[in-house]
Structure 1
Amino acid sequence: MNSNSTTSNQDISVTLPVRIGFAVIESFLKKKYTGTTISKTSSRGKTSNYFKILDLNLFESQTEPYNLQLRLKLQTLTLLFNNKDIEVSVLTDLRLDIETQKLYVEAYNINSSGDHWIASNILKSVLNTFIYKKILNTLSVDLMPILQEKIDLVNIKLASELTATKNLSIMGNVEKFTISHFEIKRDVIWIFIDTQGWGVITIEDLEV
């Protein structure tokens, strides 16, 4: 039998799990929002400051149907509640839109603890608007450009033989990919990517 008459098939399809720890997302949110002043500008152009974000933390929600919990530590800046520290909990239901390949917030709920500031409809409205338009919008992410950038870097390394271990190298290319689903478990967001491409493993020495 002539082995040269058969062309080897190098095409592969693999589902790759990508993990993003809560610490990574929390660090990003801290850099973006810690120290931010939450304010409102009136129709006359006057700006009033209501809150300052002192800190924030991200957790896995224990309350169904939500899967994420964001805790905000705020300082009030109004004359009535000046310099009072309060804590606000934001429960969110983060989901994946398969068609657009984007994460989005399906629903959210805001709870507060301590003091009587929550009785003010103005304060509630200002805080709710900021959380919805800013923080929750940040959690709504188009994953494709981010993953494409990372996969391009992987393809650069795989373009030439990449040494995996002694006497073993890998060469290949991820040609296309789609996000199939995602899960949140133990403070980690798992994103599962269905990939198609080709790959070759080269054994350079048969000695163990």
Structure 2
Amino acid sequence: MDKILEEDNIKLDLPVKINYGVLEDVLQKKLVGEQIGMEDSRGTVKNYVEVLGANLGKSQEFNFDLTLNLKLKTLTTLFKNKEVNLLVHLALGFNEVDQVIDIIEYELEGQSKNWLMDNSLETLANTLIYKKIKNKMKLDLKPHINEQLGKVNEKLSEEMETAPGVFLSGNVNILKVAQIIPGDTLLLILLEISAYGFIDIKEIKL
């Protein structure tokens, strides 16, 4: 009987919606104020740009999912304190085994009116800014999922009274992201859940 109770009897595909505004807030915390540069042979770091703002939305370009609009301030001697915009079109990738969301492809679009600055910015973006973005937007979901799984199972390990005399217990054995679907205004994440649970009625009140 106990073995039967411990077999997974609950299987769910649960959609979770994350608005791009929520992701934008996270990116702004990670990127705004960052100075991007590189270290020379003497170990001196030379910064080229500072990130002033970051906005995220659905990309209008074919084969891309998101567009990151970066507002940058140049720090070089030639273009000091010039504010420029850089659009980065991003294609998302998802490794289901490793549970990692990553950037697999990108395309740059400078928006300043100065042709020389655009080309200098594009060269810089290809070597430095893109690496920064790719690093900041790479998301390993496993630690977050394992943390939530632990919290859920801790609660389920003890009977929870859901109504007078009615108790719920069980265990979630599988909780993972099965698919990532970028939409027009939000990211849809499909969760795969496999668990066992049962309801124990200890009292019937008439």
Partner of 1:118: 118
- 3-state secondary structure, aligned to 2:28: helix
Q: 1:67 aligns with which of 65, 68, 72?
A: 65
| The 10-residue stretch of structure 1 (131-140 or 50-59) with the greater mean CA deviation from structure 2 | 131-140
Change (3 A) 1:148 1:132: same
User: Unmatched 5+ residue regions in structure 2?
Assistant: none
Partner of 2:198: 200
| The 10-residue stretch of structure 1 (147-156 or 166-175) with the greater mean CA deviation from structure 2 | 166-175
- 3-state secondary structure, aligned to 2:181: strand
Q: 1:173 aligns with which of 151, 171, 174?
A: 171
Change (3 A) 1:97 1:10: closer
Change (3 A) 1:50 1:154: same
Partner AA of 1:119 in structure 2: N
- 3-state secondary structure, aligned to 1:84: strand
Shift of 1:74: 0.5
TM-score by length of 2: 0.83
Structure-to-structure mapping, 1:80-91, within 5 angstroms: 80-91=78-89
How many residues were matched structurally? 200
Percent of aligned pairs sharing the same letter = 32
Structure-to-structure mapping, 1:84-99, within 5 angstroms: 84-99=82-97
Cα deviation, 1:53-79, whole Å, max 9, x if unaligned, reads: 101011121222111111101111122
Shift of 1:182: 1.6
Partner AA of 1:85 in structure 2: E
Q: 1:157 aligns with which of 141, 152, 155?
A: 155
Partner of 1:109: 107
| Contact 2:145–2:176 (Cα < 8 Å) also in 1 | no
Counterpart CA distance in 2 for 1:10 and 1:97 is 25
TM-score by length of 1: 0.82
Shift of 1:173: 1.4
Please give the root-mean-square deviation of Cα atoms over the aligned residues, in Å.
2.5
Counterpart CA distance in 2 for 1:166 and 1:144 is 36
| Contact 1:54–1:73 (Cα < 8 Å) also in 2 | yes
